[in-house]
Amino acid sequence: MNITLNGQTCWAKPGETVLDVARREGMNIPTLCHLSAFSPTGSCRICTVEVEHCGTLVPACAYPISEGMVVRTNSPRVRRARKTIIELLVANHPPDCLFCVRSGSCELQKLTQEYGVRTHRYQGERRRARIDIASPAIERDPEKCILCGRCVRICHETQHVGAIDFVHRGFRSAVAPALERSLNTVPCVDCGQCVVNCPVGALTEKSSQKPVWEAINNPDLVVVAQVAPAVRVALAEEFGAEAGTVATGRTVAALRRIGFARVFDTNFGADLTIIEEATELLHRLTHGGSIPMLTSCSPGWVKFIEHLYPDLLGNLSSCKSPHEMEGALLKTYYANKIGVDPSRMFVVSVMPCTAKKYEAQRPELGGDYPDVDAVITTRELARMIRVAGIDFHKLPNEGFDDPMGESTGAGAIFGASGGVMEAALRTAHFYLTGNDMPSPSYAPIRGLEGVKQAEVRIGDTTLRVAAVSGLKNIKPMLDAIRDGNSPFHFIEVMACPGGCVNGGGQPLPATPEKLIKRTESIYQIDRESPRRNSHRNESVQKLYAEFLGEPGGHLSHELLHTHFVERDDF
């Protein structure tokens, strides 16, 4: 079909909307409620355009194209309408932009600047509500909510959790958990995808910056940091670099200058996880155990199965997640090496994930002391770097501290969906055949698809595996396990679509293009690593020889494994 868009003739396909065509033609139409790959709602009306034949303003995101249509996206009438909508949103919004955590990345703030909103033209009653800060991972400020519904759609349609929804009607309309309870009293999994998709500051991560600064300034504590694989391919975005820029060395340098005594690599913990996880899988296959085995690295996914499929907890790997394994060893193996009492060691994990904040305070993870004392997100680290007055771009490239600073390419790919599975297959191949995989890259389980499946032949053994990201995609597989119809031996699950590179604590805004570039960089780190198999990590080998004994042994189980619980606390 042909349409006229701002005086230019453009082609269009049946089923496309005005917004689809405008974006393809390089014309920007602002949106607030719109989510790519979701059916449109047209609720915010910011994308209003003028269609000549109907003589009215329509939402571009929901209005279908027809032959010969004449559309104006930038007429005086359109600009006035959009500005009025923005002014009405601002009239019901707290005027706290100066100290809002989303200042500078707020989509509503950006629109007020672009459309020249300089005064409160509309005065009247505002919605009032309490801030919900009870969750260990996510804060919710209902007064800042603009009712765009993006968080609701992500929670229901992408994650199939449904922890929040629209409540009440008219002026009292709000987004809240059932019965307007706190997020920590409903089956929220703390994945943070609502935070990633919120255009304003109504949903944010629970900040841990204050306790971390206090620990750094406490002379009685030895404060150490560890950095997740997905952080190093995203942090530079916070300082204006292109998405996917690898900034491992500068991240380490920044943490040292902030005041951390030592900086370690969570990829070491990832390598360790693979050794334990591959050992556990092979033990289940040869000695009996619940099959398929499900990975346990993603705390949002773990909380999901605890809430909704507790009868399948026996299928979940008992391995702690990489940063928890590393935290446990920092307070035992490493603390003993440097002669520090574990009570004086304060472990901070820099993570792409909000659910890690919840995970760190689980009583099942730690003995006399928690494995990890605090978790900060990629965004929080960027704020701390700015507060410290550090010019990120001028930092040198520095290396991690030993012995838990050595890692392999297999540990790096944990940050992408399918990475845990691929790393595990590399080590499982070695355990079953005595040889490394001829090619360590395994394409069938790479990519951003929500479900990836493969059949892998290793020696005389055939393994059927799957890698799943986005919680809606795991439900059919869990139902098949319940019914006894699952064909798989091993399933990797990541709560966030695309994996940790798209975690709830990553730089905003999150776009598909950024996600692709971060993922590509994760695999670039793997390709350029001198060692690409977890079992080739010499520091891990030394750890077993000096301290842990054998993989899956008594001490390994005591420090590196845990148990999970049925959650009926909602």
pLDDT at 126: 87
Run of H or E residues at 409: helix 409-412
Paired strand residues for 466: 453, 491
pTM above threshold 0.75: yes
Mean pLDDT for 52-80 is 93
The answer to whether 456 and 465 are in contact (CB under 8 A) is: yes
DSSP secondary structure string, 229-268?
TTTTTTGGGGGTPPTT---HHHHHHHHHHHT-SEEEEHHH
Q: Do residues 5 and 27 lie in contact, with contact meaning Cβ atoms separated by under 8 Å?
A: yes
- Residue identified by tokens 């792409």 is 352
What's the angle, vertex CA 222, arms to CA 217 and CA 226, rounded to 5?
100
Q: What is the mean pLDDT of residues 524-547?
A: 96
Given a cut of 60, whether residue 570 has pLDDT beyond it is no
Q: State how far the Cα of 82 lies from the Cα of 49, in Å rounded to an integer.
A: 9
What domains are there in the chain, each with its CATH number? 1-126 (3.10.20.740), 127-206 (3.30.70.20), 210-560 (3.40.50.1780)
DSSP H helical ranges for 259-377: 266-287, 299-308, 322-329, 335-338, 355-360
Residue 366 clears pLDDT 90, i.e. is over it: no
User: Which residues does the annotation mark as catalytic?
Assistant: 277, 280, 297, 317, 356, 359, 364, 500
Looking at residue 218, what is its pLDDT? 98
Q: How many CB atoms lie within 10 A of CB 438?
A: 6
Beta partners for residue 52, in sequence order: none
Q: What percentage of the chain reaches a pLDDT higher than 70?
A: 100
Give the rounded distance of the alpha carbon of 477 from its chain centre: 22
Q: What mean pLDDT is predicted for residues 442-454? A: 93
pLDDT, one tens digit per residue, over 105-150 is 999 999 999 999 999 899 888 888 999 999 999 999 999 999 999 9
pLDDT value at position 569? 56
pLDDT for the residue numbered 37: 84
Q: Given a cut of 80, is residue 304 above it in pLDDT?
A: yes
Alpha-carbon distance 58 to 51, whole Å?
7
Q: How confident is residue 252, by pLDDT bands cut at 50, 70 and 90?
A: very high
Asked if 331 contacts 340 with a C-beta cutoff of 8 angstroms, the reply is no
**Number of neighbouring beta carbons within 10 Å of residue 553:** 14
Q: Is the pLDDT of residue 549 over 60?
A: yes
What is the token pair recorded at 250?
Answer: 């500068």
Tokens at 362, concatenated: 């689980």
Q: Identify each DSSP E strand in 459-559 by its residue range.
A: 461-469, 490-494
* Pairwise CA distance, residues 346 & 262, whole Å: 11
For residue 355, how many other CB atoms are within 10 A of its CB? 30
Q: Torsion angle, CA of 383/270/443/535, rounded to 10 degrees?
A: 150
- Angle (CA) 4-10-15 rounded to 5° is 95
Q: Which residues contact 127 (CB under 8 A, 6 or more apart)?
A: 92, 142, 143, 171, 172, 174
- Mean residue pLDDT of the chain comes to 95
